[in-house]
């Protein structure tokens, strides 16, 4: 078995209610094992315990019971965060800093300095597509740009584990697509990604495995294709098929005891339509080809 | 990227947090307003009623040191009270503590930023104060020389030396340093309060309360000792009170300054060491509370 990036064993979080015997259970007896290089999606409705789980994994909130480890080190150990990058939901960065200054600050916290820091900051600004806005104050950044600078600060120490809490919240479809493309590029480089989201289509597209939290309990977990597959059905997509062929297939299916459930034209997604309509031709072609490339994977 | 060995304490990380905190604080309008207040107050002392030059310099020093002490204390309370709650509210604390930054370094960096701001404020106010004092000294010297025209040179020289001795003396620098140390105590105390306070207003109210108690503590202690004697129980109680409410009156060197007497070096060192002790104690207490805090 490959090295575990995240290991959570019997972890619970209980918040006592002041002046009452009652307590709120945010997370109950959670067990997670995320392999190195995997992209894992934590799903769940609002208040299901996703953010609390991420904070406990990062050591920002102590669990009431159980333990969490990052690459074999207890997450309560500050040193475990050397290999972690985190983007919280709707992060705030000082508006008076420029993109470069923001990344320099986070780089210094990770022990970078001098030429190494300068080079890393430039590299990250390129990576998230903010090189042209590097010297602009964050007060002039759009929501999508702020999210990208947030992603860049999370990557400043070249983390082996990237934790993203609702990474595309409030970002338009193009920005959202950019973030997804970035996650896929990081996956290719071997970075483990743990993300929480309630945008299911997005999770489906990038995650290898997902876990679904409801009321603090992990109710489902598994590989995306296994969880989504309808076991007794098969999907065929034909190109340039004449009507006679379709009729022959339908007849063949009925003679063999199978039932043709549905025959329809495949549809593009609303997102792809949006991107094709709003992006320059070159980039929309590139995005389409990226999407097709991923589908063929 | 090649991973570096994690250091349990890194001065660079503390300096990075202190630097960004200072930048954030200098953007507070209250900082500029306070400086303007200080400017107005020190400037207004130039237009006081006619007095002898000794009285004039004494009043000028008294008002200026008092204003410095008051404004730096207000700045320490107002500037510090909102630092932690604001970082927690807008989640900036998550991005910082998700890096390999121990909570002690985060707290120390925040305090470092406030202390830097106070140091800059003190430098500006001291420079202004010295400039006003120097200007008044020059005016008085010129007036004295004019009034004593025709008198023997030795008499004139003595009179001018007398004027110079009344303006800048050896108590000036220690008194200013003690004002800074007092502001540092107030800042670290406010930071400690903010780690468990439920709101910024609560922090400010409690810090102001402790500030006033701190100025009355010496009198209250003397009264308590006269009533209850100096037994161990009394002394223990007073030690706890002294920890909760630092004796801020100790840091007012104005009396020496006004009287023109030098603050004894031993007394200055002892008082400064006590101030540093308070700052460290409050920093450690703030770290202890913040470490157990649910973010």
What own/partner pairs with CB < 8 Å and gap ≥ 24 does B38-44 have?
B38/B67, B38/B68, B38/B71, B38/B125, B38/B128, B39/B128, B41/B67, B42/B67, B42/B125, B42/B128, B42/B129, B42/B132, B43/B132
Q: Given A15, A81, A158, which is nearest B98 (Cβ)?
A: A81
What are φ and ψ of residue A171, in 5° steps? -100, 145
Torsion sign, CA atoms B278, B281, B284, B290: negative
Q: Strands across the sheet with A23-35, in order? A: A23-35, A4-16, A65-70, A73-74
**Partners of residue B295 in chain A, C-beta under 8 Å:** 55, 60-61
Asked if the C-beta of B29 comes within 8 angstroms of chain A's C-beta atoms, the answer is no
* Of residues B1, B10, B294, nearest to A157 (C-beta): B1
The pLDDT value given to residue A131: 93
Whether the predicted pLDDT of A206 surpasses 60: yes
Sign of the torsion angle spanned by Cα atoms A284, A286, A288, A294? negative
Q: What is the pLDDT of residue B50?
A: 61
Query: What percent of chain A stands above pLDDT 90?
Result: 47
Pick from A84, A97, A108: CB nearest B98: A84
Report the residue of chain B nearest A76, measured CA to CA: B102
CB contact under 8 A, A86 and B91: no
Q: Sign of the CA dihedral B191, B197, B202, B206?
A: negative
**Residues from chain A contacting residue B102 (CB–CB below 8 Å):** 78
From the list A94, A109, A153, the residue facing B16 with the nearest CB is A109
Residue contact A109–B17, C-beta within 8 A: yes
Domains of chain A, residue spans: 4-226, 227-296
Q: CA-nearest residue of chain B to A160? A: B1
Cβ–Cβ contact B49 with A under 8 A: no
Span A115-142, mean pLDDT?
93
d(C-alpha A291, C-alpha A285), whole Å: 10
**Looking at the complex, does the CB of residue B97 fall below 8 Å from at least one CB of chain A?**
yes
Judged by CB atoms closer than 8 Å, whether chains meet at A109 and B6 is answered as no
Could you give the ipTM of this predicted complex?
0.84
- Residue B22 CA to residue B96 CA, distance in Å, equals 16
B294 touches chain A (CB under 8 A): yes
CA distance A117 to chain B (A): 12
Q: Which CATH architecture has domain A4-226?
A: 3-Layer(aba) Sandwich (3.40)
* Rounded Cα–Cα distance for residues A163 and A85 (Å): 6
**Beta carbons of B92 and A91 less than 8 Å apart:** yes
**Closest chain A C-alpha to B287 CA, distance in angstroms:** 15
CA distance B190 to chain A (A): 23
**Which residue in this structure is represented by tokens 């400690």?**
B192
What is the predicted pLDDT for the residue at A292? 45
Residue A152's pLDDT is: 94
Sort out which chain B residues have CB atoms less than 8 A from A109's CB and list them: 13, 16-17, 96, 99-101
Residue B283 exposure: Cα atoms within 13 Å on the Cβ side: 19
- What torsion, rounded to 10 degrees, do the Cα atoms B215, B219, B220, B222 define? 140
Interface contacts A/B by beta carbons within 8 Å: 89
Q: What residues of chain B score a pLDDT lower than 50? A: 2
Provide the shortest C-alpha distance from residue A74 to chain B (in Å): 13
Q: What is chain A written as a DSSP string?
A: -PPEEEEEEEEEEEEEPTTSS-EEEEEEEEEEEEETT-EEEEE--TTSSHHHHHHHHHTSS--SEEEEEETTEETTSGGGGGGEEEE-SS----TTSBHHHHHHHHHHHTT--HHHHHHHHHHHHHHTT-GGGTTSBGGG--HHHHHHHHHHHHTTT--SEEEEESTTTT--HHHHHHHHHHHHHHHHTT-EEEEEES-HHHHHHH-SEEEEEETTEEEEEEEHHHHH--TT------SS--HHHHHHHHHHHHHTT------------HHHHHHHHHS-HHHHHHHHHHHHHHHH-
Closest chain A CA to residue B99: A81
Q: How does residue A264 score in pLDDT terms, banded at 50, 70 and 90?
A: confident
Measured between beta carbons, which residues in chain B are less than 8 angstroms from residue A27?
Answer: none
The tens digit of pLDDT for each residue in A241-252 reads 898 998 899 888
A-chain residues near B97 (CB < 8 A): 60
- DSSP letter for each residue of chain B: -PPPPPPS--HHHHHHHHHHHHHHHHT-HHHHHHHHHHHHHHHHGGGPPP--HHHHHHHHHHHHHHHHHHHHHHHHHHHHHTHHHHHHHTTHHHHHHTSS--HHHHHHHHHHHHHHHHHHHHHHHHHHHHHHHHHHHHHHHHHHHHHTTTS-HHHHHHHHHHHHHHHS-TTHHHHHHHHHHHHHHHHHHHHHHHHH-SSHHHHHHHHHHHHHHHHHHHHHHHHHHHHH-S-HHHHHHHHHHHHHS--GGGG--HHHHHHTPPPPHHHHHHHHHHHHHHHHHHHHHHHHHHHT---
Mutate to test the interface with B, among A61, A74, A78, A163 (most CBs of B within 10 A): A78
Stated pTM of the model: 0.84
The pLDDT assigned to A281 comes to 59
Main-chain dihedrals φ then ψ at residue B9, nearest 5 degrees: -140, 130
What are the beta bridge partners of residue A24? Answer: A15
- Is the model's pLDDT at A117 over the cut of 90? yes
Integer CA distances (angstroms), B289 to A87, A107, A135, B283, in order: 25, 27, 38, 10
B97 and A106 within 8 Å at the Cβ level: the answer is no
Contacts of B236 (CB under 8 A, 6+ apart): none
- A68's CB contacts (< 8 A; 6+ apart) are A6, A7, A8, A9, A11, A56, A57, A59, A74, A75
Pick the closest to residue A44 from A170, A207, A203 (CA basis). Answer: A203
Tell me the C-alpha distance between A153 and A157, whole Å: 8
Instruction: Give the dihedral sign, CA B261/B264/B269/B273.
Output: negative
pLDDT confidence of residue A200: 79
Instruction: Inform me whether the pLDDT recorded for A124 exceeds 90.
Output: yes
């Amino acid at each position: 078995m490959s090295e575990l990036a995240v290991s959570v064993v019997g972890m619970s979080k209980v918040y006592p209610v002041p002046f009452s015997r009652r307590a709120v259970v945010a997370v109950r007896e959670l067990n997670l094992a995320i392999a190195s290089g995997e992209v894992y999606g934590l799903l769940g409705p609002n208040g299901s315990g996703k953010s609390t789980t991420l904070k406990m994994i990062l050591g920002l909130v102590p669990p009431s019971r159980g333990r969490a480890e990052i690459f074999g080190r207890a997450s309560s150990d500050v040193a475990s965060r050397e290999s972690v990058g985190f983007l919280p939901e709707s992060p705030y960065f000082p508006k008076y800093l420029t993109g470069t200054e923001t990344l320099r600050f986070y780089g210094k916290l990770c022990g970078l300095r001098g030429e190494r820091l300068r080079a890393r900051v430039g590299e990250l600004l390129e990576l998230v597509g903010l090189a042209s806005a590097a010297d602009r104050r964050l007060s002039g950044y759009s929501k999508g740009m702020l999210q990208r600078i947030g992603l860049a600060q999370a990557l400043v120490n070249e983390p082996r584990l990237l934790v993203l809490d609702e990474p595309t919240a409030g970002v338009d479809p193009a920005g959202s697509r950019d973030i997804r493309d970035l996650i896929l590029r990081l996956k290719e480089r071997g970075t483990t990604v743990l993300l929480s989201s309630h945008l299911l289509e997005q999770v489906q597209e990038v995650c290898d495995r997902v876990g679904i939290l409801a009321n603090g309990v992990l109710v489902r977990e598994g590989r995306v294709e296994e969880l989504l597959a309808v076991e007794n059905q098969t999907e065929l997509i034909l190109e340039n098929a004449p009507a006679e062929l379709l009729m022959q297939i339908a007849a063949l299916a009925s003679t063999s005891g199978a039932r043709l459930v549905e025959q329809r034209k495949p549809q593009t997604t609303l997102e792809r339509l949006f991107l094709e309509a709003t992006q320059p031709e070159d980039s929309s072609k590139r995005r389409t080809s990226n999407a097709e490339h991923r589908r063929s994977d | 990227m090649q991973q570096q060995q994690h250091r349990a304490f890194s001065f660079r990380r503390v300096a990075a947090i202190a630097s960004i905190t200072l930048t954030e604080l200098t953007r507070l309008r209250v900082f500029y307003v306070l400086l303007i207040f200080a400017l107005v107050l020190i400037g207004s002392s130039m237009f006081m009623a006619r007095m002898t030059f000794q009285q004039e310099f004494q009043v000028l020093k008294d008002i200026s040191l008092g204003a410095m002490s008051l404004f730096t204390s207000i700045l320490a309370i107002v500037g510090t009270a909102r630092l932690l709650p604001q970082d927690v509210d807008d989640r900036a604390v998550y991005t910082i503590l998700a890096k390999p930054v121990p909570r002690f370094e985060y707290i120390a960096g925040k305090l470092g930023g406030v202390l830097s701001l106070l140091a800059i404020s003190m430098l500006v106010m001291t420079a202004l104060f010295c400039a006003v004092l120097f200007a008044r000294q020059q005016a008085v010297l010129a007036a004295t020389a004019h009034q004593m025209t025709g008198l023997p040179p030795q008499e004139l020289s003595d009179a001018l030396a007398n004027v110079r001795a009344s303006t800048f003396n050896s108590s000036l620098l220690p008194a200013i340093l003690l004002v800074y140390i007092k502001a540092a105590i107030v800042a670290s105390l406010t930071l400690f309060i903010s780690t468990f306070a439920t709101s910024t207003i609560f922090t400010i109210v409690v810090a102001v309360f402790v500030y006033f108690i701190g100025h009355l503590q010496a009198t209250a202690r003397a009264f308590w000792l006269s009533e209850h004697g100096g037994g161990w129980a009394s002394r223990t109680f007073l030690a706890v009170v002294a920890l909760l409410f630092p004796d801020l009156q100790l840091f007012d060197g104005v009396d020496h300054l006004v009287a023109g007497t030098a603050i004894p070096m031993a007394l200055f060192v002892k008082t400064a060491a006590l101030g540093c002790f308070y700052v460290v104690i409050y920093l450690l207490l703030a770290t202890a509370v913040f470490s157990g805090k649910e973010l």
